[in-house]
Amino acid sequence: MKKYLGVGLVSIFLLPLMVQSQEKKEKKERKGEFYFSWGYNKEWYTNSNIRVNQPSLRNNYTLKNVTSHDNVGWDQGIFNVPLSIPQYNYRIGYFFDKKKGIAFEINFDHTKHILTDGQTVNLVGTLGGRNVDTSILFAKSNGFNYYLNNGANFLLFNIVKRWTWHESKTKNFKLDFLGKAGIGPVIPHVENTFFGKANQDGFQLGGWNLGTEGALKATFYKHVFLEFSNKLDYARYSGLKVYEGTAKEAFLSYQLILSLGYSFGAGKKL
């Protein structure tokens, strides 16, 4: 009896010290959380109109309701080509308040937007100063192509909100839902040919985009995570370089994105 009484008295004495030690340990946690990830995407585009203006040629016309597609690249084996060749994504972000789950994120999508080869397109406007309303075969064999194949390239500056859906007792597994929204520039690589006349291809600032994204994020052992996202992005391009002129277009895209990332504590200690 005395033995158990002694153990009880020692436990009662040590308990406040243990609690205090745990509190100190918790206070050493960082207030913020830094993260980065890399992944790959698949997307679909709405039909769009492309307005081409070539003043020196007296051309000002619109290609109406054109169809387009992506070029995923990773379906050919991501280890067969450099990591930056397929359609990829990266995210760099910082939760400046982990408890509230609010973060700022740099969000980049290397997407590819290619007009479908072989489609029949309605062309309306002026050619050589004359009014036209006709149909053309938009095909490389017919002197037409339009590639943002080295990237339609959406860059967003996002605000992120995190909701924790589940966390294991050991804290070695956590499932979160993330909501994201932002705006930023597009940085396309423009390559095209109209009526057999090709532009000088290259990267340029070419307009703006805004996007919203919902993601499921599974974190393992507090640091490594997988993130699966569904994203809607509206991109509006202008001043795109074509032979002796510029082009503009706008479209909505839907993306599926799978990313692998790493996070760690940052900022002031609590």
Q: Is residue 17 part of a domain?
A: no
Beta bridge partner(s), residue 173: 220
Q: Is residue 11 part of a domain?
A: no
Helices (H), the chain: 2-27
Q: What is the pLDDT of residues 175-192, one digit of tens each?
A: 999 999 999 999 999 999
Q: Is residue 8 part of a domain?
A: no
Confidence band for 39, pLDDT divided at 50, 70 and 90: very high
Q: What is the pLDDT of residues 138-155, one digit of tens each?
A: 999 999 999 999 999 999
Strands 102-110 and 113-115: unpaired
Q: Is residue 4 part of a domain?
A: no
263: which 2 tokens? 């996070």
- Residues in Cβ contact with 236 at an 8 Å cutoff, skipping those fewer than 6 apart: 186, 207, 208, 209, 248, 250
* CA torsion angle 240 241 242 247 (round to 10): 20
Is pLDDT above 60 for 4?
no
Structural domain boundaries enclosing 102: 30-269
CB count, 10 Å around CB of 238?
15
Q: Domains in the chain: how many in total?
A: 1
Q: Is residue 222 part of a domain?
A: yes
Predicted local distance difference test score (pLDDT) of residue 268: 75
Amino acid at 143: G
6: which 2 tokens? 């002694």
Q: Is residue 5 part of a domain?
A: no
d(CA 161, CA 229): 14
CATH code where residue 47 lies: 2.40.160.20
